[in-house]
Amino acid sequence: MFETLQTVPVIFYKALARVVLQLEEGNNLEEGWRLMKSVTVLITDWCPHCKRAIAWIDEVKQENPKYKDIKVEIIDEEKNPAIAKQYNYYYVPTYYVEKRKIFEGGTTKDIVRKVFEEAIKN
């Protein structure tokens, strides 16, 4: 848990830096804050759907440049039970965008794309 707490400020400052860059490039504040939305995926090590989901996340980010700046946090529910308990879900993988559940259960590459689209929505 201590490691997670240490990375939060770094993640926040990196996201804030992206917002500042967006503003300097003439984009509006709403556009800059949009880039700060993150995706959280709850998984387990033994879940075959989770392994495919993680691979698809990487593939989809590489296929489409508009997804490259989306921060994806992977939480293994068995290694981080205290964090996982903060989420309301039953099946893995489960996808959240800014604490809002988008999809739960067996997944496809298209579902990963839909989750990313939710993350970049205004």
How many domains, in total, are found in the chain? 2
100 and 121 assigned to the same domain: yes
From residue 112, give the alpha-carbon distance in Å to each of 62, 69, 99: 13, 15, 16
Average of per-residue pLDDT across 53-66: 96
Query: Is the pLDDT reported for residue 47 higher than 70?
Result: yes
CA–CA gap between residue 103 and residue 93 (Å, rounded):
8
52 and 98 assigned to the same domain: yes
Top pLDDT among 107 and 24 is at 107
Condensed to tens digits (0 to 9), the pLDDT of residues 26-46 reads 665 555 555 558 999 999 999
Which residues are registered as beta bridge partners of 40?
73, 96
55 and 103 assigned to the same domain: yes
24 and 45 assigned to the same domain: no
CATH code of 112's domain: 3.40.30.10
14 and 55 assigned to the same domain: no
Are 111 and 79 spatial neighbours (Cβ–Cβ below 8 Å)?
A: no
26 and 43 assigned to the same domain: no
Q: Write down the pLDDT at residue 53.
A: 97
Range of the domain at 111: 37-122
